[in-house]
Chain A
Amino acid sequence: MATLKQPSVLPGFGLTFGFTTFFLTTIVLIPLAALVLMTASITWHDFVKVVFSARALGSYRLSFGASFLAASINLVFGFVIAWTLVRYEFPGRKAIDALIDMPFALPTAVSGIALTTVFAENGWIGQYLQPLGIKVAYTWIGVTVALTLIGMPFAVRSVQPALLEVQRDLEDAAETLGASRFYVFRRIILPTVLPALLTGFTLAFARAVGEYGSVIFIAGNLPLKTEITPLLIVIRLEEFDYKGAAALGFVMLVISFAFLLTINLLQAWGRKRLISRVR
């Protein structure tokens, strides 16, 4: 215990550590353990049948694929939005800054309905995309759009503070040393905000994988094509197939955990390179 003790502004390490453990256990660990236990109660044969069924495999591909795509889109555009908000002064900046958090506040079902209305074949945007042969609503594209929307705040809010840290002086220094703007971006700005970018990506991805409400309206929910895993789990539950649902949930848990762990390790490795004793 003594080695863990650190002087801190909050008193009582024992108390806070105990609370942390208790809280994590009740809220996170016990429910997850229940999921694993429930899964363990079905036979190996049944487990494989449920988990590797064509329908399940299709849903994994859509869920993780669309989430990855959405998080990637957010990575790029989240950075651009954060850059604009941090670096420029323009009328309405505060309003746009507040707008970023809207997807947090809206019930996800509302965003789903709104997106469907807009992107349906006769919707505001959908009617123009239709002649071009692009169908958004009720396809995997629609799923990606919905996941992008709900993940966007995570990407922007993670990068913003990191960009504030990139001092103008660094860019000025690089410029006097003869670097072009692109060079400065690639060699100075990007490496500095990379950890934050990865965090934003991870959060957006994690959120997208678990998303249910906004997707089911725009997805169309065709088995094998536009059915996401969370929906498949809900369907299993409605059929009172608790064990099947648990098995699918277990698979999501494993994949997500593996993915998040990888990114966290990547970040830790990157941070070690940047480690600073000063400050």
Chain B
Amino acid sequence: MSITLDQVTKRYQGSPVVNDVSLDIGDGEFFVLLGPSGSGKSTLLRAIAGLSGVDHGRISLHGRDVTHLSAKERGVGLVFQNYALFRHMTVADNIEFALRVRRMRAADRRQRRQELLRLVALEGMDERMPGQLSGGQQQRVAVARALAHKPEVLLLDEPFGALDAKIREELRRTIRQVQRELKISTVLVTHDQEEAFALADRIGVMNLGRLLEVGKPQELYASPATRFVATFLGAANLILARQTKDGIRFGKTPVSAPAPGPLHGAREHEVVAVVRPEEVEIAATREDLTSNYLTRGTVEELVFTGALERMRIRIDDGPDAPPLSNINSGGPALLEVTRTQHEQRAFEIETGQDVTIGVRRIHILPTPLSSFTTCATSESLAEALVQQPLLAELASRMKTRVSTRVEPKLGMPNAACETPSVFSGTTVIAAHTEVAYQAQWLLQRGAEEILVLPQNAGPPQRVLIHWADESVRRATLAVSASILRHVSAEAIYIGILPTQTPAAQRPHGMRALLDARSEAQAVHGLEMRTELRFGDVSNELARQLAELPGQMLILGIRGNKDLAERFGSLFADAHWPVLIVHREHEGPSA
């Protein structure tokens, strides 16, 4: 491995900008770090170069631990977005800079410089000043300069950002050629997914300081694991579907799609389906469709963009309509579709036309969190919950929808649900002293994830994770990973042993802790710290939560009989949000 990052964390004014990133980059690999601005990708690159230190974790280059070495000692090649050429020096002096520093002989320097200029196709430009070159040429000089001292690693920080489209493509090709020729391990940072696809052997997608997914471009595009990657890497329609024992259904329409995993228990539950715009088929009638029928809709917007035709289709309302995930209650449900010239010729359409919609390929996200439903005893209370900052923030970051549900008898023992439909997604209730009974009431009537929201809680800085039963470990970890992809917080797993645990049993507790950590890392890509406590579970958790503001608890439990008795003290006058993950039946073992 040429670059190894192990749990690298970098904080800025207390909050993590790079959050527990672990990554291995192979010899000669072209790795692209992709993410929106502020995702921490540039900070991570600077940390690899040694220009900024890390607060936690280790960085090794070619097996050598360089965590505490300065940039000068690491000697990587770094290329900046704004070229950062020395403007008072000629091209030759710029390229020879690293060689001069190393006191190389003039003749050797000249020879190396000629080699490099040939490599970047700038022969004969030696005596020009940077100001006399075009932007593309300047960036080529910068690449040559970064390679002069034969670094083992080349780092590129948005190198095409300041260039126009045509030159961008040309330079992209040059960089790819140079990289192949030298077989140098390369990390490129960009926010442009097209660039990532064009260059990368592997792509790592970052958001909110976390490395969400790593994979080959085709794999990441075809089967993303997270909704962020699904929507950031190309366009995607997120549709809420149901997984039943007979397969996946959109509304009432069954479709053929591989399920993300076995159903836990016999109940059906809500899942998030990704449908790429190019996988949508448009036809006049259901009989003309060659793929899965989805629904009917009206063409709302039609844009011709040369090779492709883009359109947005409003899905007809109706009880059978599949709910699009990325809509807020009230907004129109618009499906994004692109069609090739060939498809356009086969079936010409115009704005306002009614069409039948089918889908060719559906990918179901393995995320356990689909949508949110606020639940309260009256409509106004349920509506008020929708406006709560944490929920609004989560829903917007997850591009999912929040619906409301009114249960006048919420929490009353032996009262049945008013609404006949099953609980789908995460049910959200307001925190108050009796909330544990309401949660238990909901659990007994089929809710699986319950978010207890205190008044005005914002996105947390720390998320504590605990499960009361080993059989719900997997589910709790999956939910935690899903939440943590959308908030910039550190994750801490709290393992709690009874105070009177005999000393001989303690190593066993430690083992369970470490197992949990490695499972989180391996299965969900979730990096978390672990802490072992002794004492009563409920008290210990409450104590931990009360210690600092801005914390949240994710609590995994099995069985719904004794939530109020066992964890009541956690909810009484709590000012921290708690997400309860409940599984009745034993989940499949990991």
A residues near B (Cβ < 8 Å) are 167, 169-170, 172-180, 183, 187-188, 191-192, 273-278
Contacts and interface: CB of A to CB of B under 8 A. Distances in A.
Contacts of A191: 88
Given A169-B84, A170-B86, A176 B78 contact: yes
Contacts of A180: 72, 101
B161 to A, nearest CB: 13
B72 A175 contact: yes
B47 to A, nearest CB: 13
B149 interface: yes
Interface string B67-87: 000111011111010101011
A176 B75 contact: yes
Contacts of B148: 177
B75 A183 contact: no
28 contacts: A167-B82, A172-B49, A172-B51, A172-B78, A174-B97, A175-B51, A175-B71, A175-B72, A176-B50, A176-B71, A176-B72, A176-B74, A176-B77, A176-B78, A177-B98, A177-B149, A178-B101, A178-B102, A178-B149, A179-B72, A191-B88, A273-B129, A274-B88, A275-B129, A276-B130, A277-B131, A278-B131, A278-B135
Contacts of A169: 80, 82, 84
Contact of B131 (A174, A177, A179, A274): A274
B132 interface: yes
A277 B82 contact: no
A173 B46 CA distance: 11
Nearest to A177: B98
Given A170-B84, A188-B86, A276-B87, 4 more contacts: A176-B74, A176-B146, A178-B149, A276-B131
A48 to B, nearest CB: 46
Interface in B83-141: 84, 86-88, 97-98, 101-102, 129-132, 135
Contacts of B558: none
Interface in B316-340: none
Going nearest first, the 10 A-B pairs with the smallest beta carbon separation are A276-B131, A177-B98, A169-B84, A173-B84, A176-B78, A175-B71, A191-B88, A178-B101, A176-B71, A169-B80
Nearest to A275: B131
Contacts of B51: 172, 175-176
A183 B84 contact: no
Contacts of B70: 175
A147 to B, nearest CB: 31
Contacts of A187: 86
Interface string B11-53: 0000000000000000000000000000000000010011100
Main secondary structure of the interface of A (DSSP, over half): helix
A230 B102 CA distance: 54
Give the contact-size bracket for chain B. 20 to 34
Interface string B520-554: 00000000000000000000000000000000000
Nearest to B133: A278
B461 to A, nearest CB: 24
A175 B87 CA distance: 16
Nearest to A190: B88
A180 B80 CA distance: 20
B101 A179 contact: yes
Nearest to A273: B88
A188 B77 CA distance: 18
A178 B99 CA distance: 9
Contact of A172 (B71, B102, B145): B71
Nearest to B98: A177
A133 B49 CA distance: 54
Nearest to A191: B88
A147 B87 CA distance: 35
B244 to A, nearest CB: 56
A157 B357 CA distance: 67
Contacts of A275: 129, 131
Contacts of B149: 177-178
Given A176-B50, A176-B71, A278-B131, A192 B87 contact: yes
A173 B87 contact: no
A181 to B, nearest CB: 9
Contacts of B101: 177-180, 183
Given A167-B84, A172-B78, A178 B98 contact: yes
Nearest to B157: A169
Contacts of B50: 176
A111 B131 CA distance: 45
Interface in B232-275: none
Given A191-B88, A278-B131, A179 B80 contact: no
**Chain A CB within 10 Å — which of B76, B98, B148 has the most?**
B98
Nearest to B79: A173
Given A276-B130, A277-B132, A173 B72 contact: no
A276 B138 CA distance: 12
A175 B98 CA distance: 9
B303 to A, nearest CB: 36
Contacts of A277: 131-132
A168 to B, nearest CB: 9
A225 to B, nearest CB: 44
Given A274-B129, A276-B129, A277-B132, A177 B97 contact: yes
A179 B87 contact: no
Contacts of B77: 176
A179 B88 contact: no
A273 B129 CA distance: 8
A175 B80 CA distance: 13
Contact of A274 (B82, B87, B98): B87
A74 B78 CA distance: 37
